[in-house]
Amino acid sequence: MAFQCQNCEAVLRESEMVPLEDVKDLLERVAPGEVMPSGECKKCGALAHKVPDRDVMKDYQFTITATIVKTAVFRDDARDKLKEELDDICLDHTIED
């Protein structure tokens, strides 16, 4: 499960957050009708919310794609490698030839 800081936008693990029960002045920091946060970012102190799994997958997919593009020479084998990585990350996503 991943979380995202409202301020610095860091994607956080649960271990990188202050637990909700330890967040100071929580009720003063959450507006009426706002979704209750999951904890507090240890990096900047802002509140953090659970990130839908699909959003995390998009971020991960972008990171893998950027890494391959930066390090691979554009040849047929590099294109095939990129396609394999994307197919592994998101099974319902395919790249058309």
Q: For each of the chain's 97 residues, which pLDDT tens digit applies?
A: 788 999 998 888 899 999 999 999 999 999 888 889 999 999 999 999 988 765 555 555 566 556 655 555 556 666 777 777 766 665 544 444 4
Distance between CA 54 and CA 90 in Å, rounded?
9
Tokens of 70: 């930066």
Task: Name which of 51, 45, 41 is nearest 16 in CA terms.
Answer: 41
- What pLDDT score does 61 carry? 57
- What pLDDT score does 2 carry? 85
- What pLDDT score does 70 carry? 58
Q: What is the pTM of this model?
A: 0.53
Distance between CA 15 and CA 55 in Å, rounded?
20
- What pLDDT score does 28 carry? 92
Distance between CA 59 and CA 50 in Å, rounded?
14
- What pLDDT score does 81 carry? 73
- What pLDDT score does 94 carry? 41
- What pLDDT score does 80 carry? 74
Please tell me whether residue 58 adopts helix, strand or coil conformation: helix
